[in-house]
Structure formats: structure tokens, C-alpha cells
Amino acid sequence: MKKNWFYLTLMMLMLAFVACSEEKEYVEPQLEVTPHNIAGEWMLKSFGDGQPVAEGCYLYLELVRNDRTFSLYDNLDSFGTVVRTGRYVIETDPELGAVIRGNYDFGGGDWNHRYVVRSLTAGEMVWVATDDANDVSVYVRTELPDEIQALFLAE
């Protein structure tokens, strides 16, 4: 009987140690910045110095892996949805890491900035302008809403 109490007490102590062990927070693994890993549809969540996108406004970014093209769908500077298309390039800078830049179709010029892809996970990516560390864009993976797809499929 004493043996059973000993084992029972030992088990209770072991359970107490396991129960008190520190919970580790899950950290989503970082992905290598490649056209394959960033391909897909993204929504701008915040920009600048962490300001969220204003209610009712949006910017969706679609990145295509095979031909390195992009489409931007936004209503940030207009009353309706505007689409801008072009090509993007990912380069590796020895000091900065992965840098993405692009240019718009139809003589629209280059993007305003080149961006260091500071973080890339399956669900989120963070871009920081190479010439302004306070210009941070956070994108979350999403699907283009049906109403936006319908606007441009009819063309």
C-alpha cells in the first residue's frame, strides 16, 4: 500500500511539473522570398508607420509566379476600383536581403520604392521601403473578392 502511495505521489509531482511548464507561442515559419512563395493574392492590412487601411478602402495585390507579373486593385486614390498591372523582379542584396521592385505597364513608370521583404510567412508578408525605413507595408494572404474579379473579367 505504501508503494502505491509513493507512485501516486510521484505521478502527481510529475504532472505538476508538466502542467507548470511554460507554454511556447507558435511562431509561423519564415519562407524564402521567391516568386513561387509570394505568388498569390494579398490584401494590404497596414502601411506607413503601422496605420491600418481606412474602412471602406482597399488594395489587393496579385502576384503571378510564371511571368513575374502583378495586378493592383485599389480604391485608395479614387471613387472606384482602379487596376494597375506590370512586372516585378526579386533581387538579392548582400546587405538587405530580398528586394522586390516593379514597373507599371503602358509607360506608367517604376514603383515609388524598392522594398525589402522583411518577413514572409504563408499568411503574411512585410515590405519596408529601401529609402525610408518608416514606410512599412503589411500584406495578408487572401482571395480577391468576387465583386472585384467580376469588374475585370467582363472586359
Query: Chunked in runs of 10, what are the mean pLDDT values of the chain (155 residues)?
Result: 60 60 80 97 93 92 96 90 95 97 93 97 97 96 90 62
Q: What is the pTM of this model?
A: 0.80
Sign of CA dihedral 80, 64, 117, 89: negative
Pairing of strands 97-104, 69-74: unpaired
- pLDDT, position 148: 84
Neighbours of 10 (CB within 10 A): 10
